């Protein structure tokens, strides 16, 4: 059977303008997961990965509120990432069981809290780019920078939208990939690499240590895809296609993107840092490592013929 990895964006589960109630996230999850059914019916064994940008940002804000109001000790970022993996993974698994039942599909689902190795000397730790948490205006962002020392980056989708940015080092290895592959080849649906995985590194004694970062889930998913030798890689986001000159008068929608053209556009800065650029880079890595096809599209268009932007050799 063919293997496919389907990467769900954090914003596919929680929209930027929503409060983040469980009802909102469950409905968004069901809408998104309905579109994965076409792959399952086509005979694919799938791994579902997911983002956690809005959710882990909310966890961090709860951290701050708990310390300020009740003197509750803050948890580090790696624990917050693990918390978001468990919470989102549980929700996706439960909702997917409902969707499978509605389609009379009998498959087991396994959710795995996943660790991913990074290099603690990665330059990303000096230049935070990964957006997490809610959207603020410029005045709110400036106040939080002054009060808490947070770094903010503008949100390309909003004229006055700013989100907290944290380090996003390159993933080196998905430490649980052999287990994930065994579960997948046994016919299970696996939910893994949530939020890009919990970032860890090896110290001078060979011990696993946590890294204060959020790994880009698309890059981590591409590493996993190569390690388990997946055939196809899908990134579901909130736009139908990849564009050059995005939201400019000369905007162009791309339906097919070769490796050579993708590298050219990346070098020209055509894709947003911390948003579309990592998605394109992840697809490039997957295709260059032997993957047959990578697609970036909006969740509801997954089952359509020739949907989204296809990245090919």
Among 3, 134, 279, 285, the one annotated catalytic: 279
Among 9, 35, 57, 130, the one annotated catalytic: 130
Nearest to 33 by CA among 113, 97, 87, 85: 97
10 assigned to active site:
yes
217 assigned to active site:
yes
Report the distance separating Cα 152 and Cα 35, nearest Å. 33
Report the distance separating Cα 118 and Cα 87, nearest Å. 23
16 assigned to active site:
no
Where do the DSSP E strands lie in the chain? 3-8, 45-50, 109-111, 115-117, 130-136, 151-154, 162-166, 173-174, 189-191, 198-202, 208-210, 232-237, 242-244, 252-254, 256-258, 293-298, 309-312
148 assigned to active site:
no
106 assigned to active site:
no
Phi/psi at 297 (5° precision): -160, 175
Among 45, 217, 241, 274, the one annotated catalytic: 217
Report the distance separating Cα 46 and Cα 202, nearest Å. 30
State whether residue 171 is helix, strand or coil: coil
Among 11, 157, 263, 293, the one annotated catalytic: 11
Which residues on neighbouring strands pair with residue 109, listed in sequence order? 189
Among 10, 57, 194, 274, the one annotated catalytic: 10
Q: Which string of b and e fits 83-98 if b means at least 16 CB within 10 Å?
A: bbbebbbebbbebbee
Sign of CA dihedral 117, 121, 127, 128: positive
Q: Which two tokens mark 201?
A: 């590194």
Nearest to 199 by CA among 186, 185, 217: 217
Which residues does the annotation mark as catalytic? Answer: 10-11, 130, 217, 279
């Amino acid at each position: 059977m063919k293997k496919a990895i389907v990467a769900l964006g954090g914003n596919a589960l929680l929209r930027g303008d929503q409060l983040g109630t469980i009802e909102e996230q469950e409905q968004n999850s069901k809408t998104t997961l309905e579109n994965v059914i076409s792959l399952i019916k086509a005979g694919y064994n799938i791994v579902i990965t997911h983002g956690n940008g809005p959710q882990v940002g909310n966890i961090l804000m709860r951290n701050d509120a708990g310390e300020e109001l009740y003197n509750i000790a803050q948890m580090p970022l790696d624990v917050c990432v693990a918390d978001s993996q468990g919470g989102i993974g549980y929700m996706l698994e439960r909702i997917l069981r409902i969707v499978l039942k509605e389609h009379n599909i009998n498959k087991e689902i396994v959710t795995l809290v996943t660790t991913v190795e990074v290099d603690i000397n990665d330059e990303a730790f000096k230049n935070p780019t990964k957006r997490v948490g809610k959207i603020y205006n410029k005045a709110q962002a400036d106040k939080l920078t002054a009060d808490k020392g947070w770094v903010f980056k503008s949100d390309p989708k909003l004229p006055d939208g700013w989100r907290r940015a944290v380090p996003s080092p390159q993933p080196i290895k998905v430490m649980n990939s052999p287990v994930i592959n065994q579960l997948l080849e046994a016919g299970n649906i696996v939910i893994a690499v949530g939020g890009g995985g919990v970032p860890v590194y090896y110290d001078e004694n060979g011990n696993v240590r946590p890294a204060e970062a959020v790994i880009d889930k698309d890059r981590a998913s591409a590493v996993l895809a190569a390690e388990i030798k997946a055939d196809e890689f899908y990134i579901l986001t909130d736009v139908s296609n990849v564009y050059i000159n995005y939201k400019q008068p000369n905007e162009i929608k791309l339906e097919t993107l070769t490796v050579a053209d993708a590298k050219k556009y990346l070098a020209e800065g055509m894709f947003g840092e911390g948003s579309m650029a990592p998605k394109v880079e992840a697809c490039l890595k997957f295709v260059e490592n032997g993957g047959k096809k990578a697609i970036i599209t909006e969740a509801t268009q997954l089952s359509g013929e020739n949907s989204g932007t296809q990245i090919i050799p």
